[in-house]
Structure 1
Amino acid sequence: MKKDGILNRNLINAIADMGHTDIMIIGDVGVPIKDEKQRIDLAISEDLPSVGKVLELIMDEMIYEKVIVAEEQKLYNPLHFKNVSELSKRCKVDTMSHEDLFSTYLSKAKYIVRTGGFEPWGNVVLVAGIDAWKWFQKEGVITPDYYEERASFEE
């Protein structure tokens, strides 16, 4: 039996299945999911589990290089935005309009994790990355400028 961290088999398998640039969305209870192959449904009841707790657990298990939320989250749900920003240790949190976030990422997501969160503009997009620090520590390898920040992050 797994000791700690994510215990849900479907979610931990999805994280293991993510490749560089694959997209995972951690959604609130209202996130629209059209393709059932994308769905990992964790919702039990209102705010159980919360978007923040699921995001925290996923970020502990997954290498990500980009985090994107709706600009409306930053404007109208600042405590949630602050929590997402504090959880994101690998990169800063980018924003775009809620409409653009959905139109850009819902159809491209490999997985959409539905939580029980009743969180206005609570959805969070994670773009999978690589452990750049390990990749660029090899002798003779030169780190390109655009990987400098990611390559400086060591677990």
Structure 2
Amino acid sequence: MRKSGLLNPALTAAVARLGHTDTFVVADCGLPVPHDIPVVDLSLVFGIPSFEDTLVALLDEVVVEAATIATTTPAEIRAVLPEVPIEEIDHEELKARLADASFVVRTGSTTAYANVILRSGVPF
């Protein structure tokens, strides 16, 4: 058993496959995901796990060089990304960009527009 870090085997495997500039998404439980994009579904019940807890756990594991959010994204979500350059786009454009994501992590969040596309960086 791992001592720390991500415990979900599907999420750990998806993160391990990321390369520089690959994108992945942390999403609320209602975001429509294209059928051909893998989903790591962590949702248990409404609110669990939270978007913020999931995002923080992933930021501890992945080098993120940029993020894309909708202009309607709540401020508390933006606050979790203080060191990450953020691009803001229309929510419909964000949904269109899901087609390029390596995978989506579905949380239990019911906060409207709690979705972020993260671009993987490198630690060197």
Under a length normalisation based on structure 1, what TM-score does the superposition of the two structures give?
0.75
Q: 1:95 corresponds to which letter in structure 2? A: E
1:81 maps to 78
1:120 maps to 112
Change (3 A) 1:37 1:80: closer
Q: Would the aligned equivalents of 2:42 and 2:105 in 1 still touch at CA under 8 Å? A: yes
| Equivalent position SS for 1:72 | coil
Q: Distance in 1 between matches of 2:81 and 2:25?
A: 16
- In terms of Rg, which structure is larger? 1
Deviation at 1:37, TM superposition (A): 4.9
Q: How many residues align?
A: 124
**Structure 2 gap ranges (5+):** none
Structure 1 residues 45-124: aligned runs within 5 Å: 45-73=45-73, 77-82=74-79, 84-86=80-82, 89=83, 91-103=84-96, 105-124=97-116
Deviation at 1:36, TM superposition (A): 5.3
Structure with greater helix share of residues: 1
**Structure 1 gap ranges (5+):** 135-155
Detail structure 1 runs of 4+ shifted over 6 Å in the superposition. none
Q: Would the aligned equivalents of 2:21 and 2:120 in 1 still touch at CA under 8 Å? A: yes
Q: Distance in 2 between matches of 1:80 and 1:65?
A: 17
Deviation at 1:3, TM superposition (A): 1.1
| Equivalent position SS for 1:106 | helix
Structure with higher RCO (Cα < 8 A, 6+ apart):
2
Deviation per CA, 1:61-104: give whole Å up to 9, x if none: 0112111111111xxx223322x333xx3x2222111111111x
Deviation at 1:35, TM superposition (A): 2.5
Deviation at 1:57, TM superposition (A): 0.5
